[in-house]
Amino acid sequence: MPEHDLVVIGGGPGGYVAAIRAAELGLRAACIEKEPVLGGTCLRVGCIPSKAMLESSEKFYEAKHGYAEHGILLGEVKLQLDAMLARKNKIVDTLTGGIDGLFRKHKVTRYLGTGKLTGPGRVVVEAPATGNGNGPTEITAKHIIIATGSKPATLPGIELDGDRVGTSTEALSYDKVPKHLVVIGGGYIGLELGSVWNRLGSKVTVLEYLDRIFPGTDSELAREALEIFKKQGIEFRLGSKVTAARAAKDHCIVECAGQEPIKCDRVLVAVGRMPYTTGLGLESVGVTVDNKGRIPVADHYRTTAEGVYAIGDVIAGPMLAHKAEYEGTACVEQIVTGYGRVNYDAIPAVIFTEPEIAAVGKTEDQLKEEQIPYRKGTFAFKFNGRAMTLANTLGKAKVLAHAETDRVLGVHIMGPHAGDIIAEATAAMTFGATSEDIARVVHAHPTLPETLKEAAIAASRRAK
């Protein structure tokens, strides 16, 4: 029976990072993953391929509509979708292959199959559905980390067929541009992929149950984003309760309460994600999940079972790849060194639409609800010199600071390269900066991060 010091179940961002860090710290580490390639949802069918398609589709759209004001006139711009998809796949292959290389470098043992707890310190690796793998093999370990991630959620009445009615996985690989794509869900997954196919020529209709898009984000920026997306040609039907979605002979039908059925070519179901915690044998070690299928953990990601830990999407908190990565590192470092932590007050999130939307810390809505006194400073990209030269001036930066201490409580940015600019705000909050601290940092000119500086000046009330 193979013995390891630490076994990670799941080879996504949390799992492979944890396994590599354990090996770096001298543990005999192993990782169990049911897919042939490592990287989890993020690298295979999530973060990376979606950003590749977002970038390619944006370049296509710019070539058709955005170069003339720069004095660049092009002939007919054509889409070669198969080449665009091939580029996306090449990026995925390169990155997933890189993880294999890191496993070999650090001598992390890889098990291909599904991991299942069979008792304290014991895990059985069952062969994947393909029949190729190491299982069934029983292995032992003093420490076991569950990092199995999440899977797409769905709704009653929706008949997923893995093709015309599908999830984000299918929407990353359509073999042709749909004439009409219906997106069920107005969150970041639906809007990112909806933006891709809208740019490539689809009519996109977004159905959202709530009266707003991007639940949980700053409502002020979400309202402004909605108007921008409408101008881009995306249709929104807010307050829509989807009751059914199915594929017919040569089309799809989507039904909403109180509305006429919608006929379309494809349906993207993007109503969130749910923890992947079934079939893990949790009951064999006395671990139970909560009403949302998540694994409850105490300090340092410990479950109720001795030696069993959980990180990433299977525990409470935002389902973000970088959250899982840092939890994996902190969990392993706590096991080995006695210290490891993640600052949950400074975890950034980015929506890669156009314009990008990025945030860290509390929203203005949360501050009002929690009755925390605050000051707000904003600065629009239309007044930023670098944004003007880029011909990309939509959006603004918002800094929220405590009214009494000036400590930065939240930063929200919508605009060009918002996902990059938010890193400065995250670092500032991590070190307990005030809005005046950010304002006094010398920012190069002309650059986009000057919008953050100007918003900080406004929040610190140094603005004239």
Q: Which residues are catalytic?
A: 445
Cβ-contact 266, 162 below 8 angstroms: no
Please state, in angstroms and rounded to a whole number, the distance separating the CA atoms of residues 423 and 349: 10
Tracing tokens 């994600």 back to the chain, one arrives at: 273
Instruction: Output the six-digit token pair for 173.
Output: 């690989």
* Sign of the alpha-carbon torsion through 204, 207, 213, 215: negative
**Backbone dihedral angles phi then psi of residue 276, each to the nearest 5 degrees:** -95, 85
C-alpha to C-alpha distances, 19 to 97, 125, 146, 194, nearest whole angstrom: 16, 16, 11, 35
Exposure string (b/e) for 305-332, b if CB count within 10 Å is 16 or more?
A: bebbbbbbbbbeeebbbbbbbbbbbbbb
According to DSSP, the residues that pair with 269 across neighbouring strands are 184
- Residue 93 neighbours by CB under 8 Å, 6+ apart: none
Instruction: Output the six-digit token pair for 197.
Output: 């196919």
Please state, in angstroms and rounded to a whole number, the distance separating the CA atoms of residues 38 and 25: 21
Cβ-contact 388, 448 below 8 angstroms: no
Length of the chain, in residues: 464
- Residue 453 neighbours by CB under 8 Å, 6+ apart: 438, 439, 441, 443
Residue 105 CA to its chain's centroid (Å): 28
C-alpha to C-alpha distances, 408 to 28, 347, 381, nearest whole angstrom: 42, 14, 21
CA nearest to 192, candidates 268, 80, 87, 276: 268
- If DSSP codes are grouped into helix, strand and coil, which group holds residue 111? strand
C-alpha to C-alpha distances, 76 to 60, 87, 276, 451, nearest whole angstrom: 11, 22, 46, 36
Please state, in angstroms and rounded to a whole number, the distance separating the CA atoms of residues 434 and 71: 43
- Residue 20 neighbours by CB under 8 Å, 6+ apart: 29, 102, 103, 106, 108
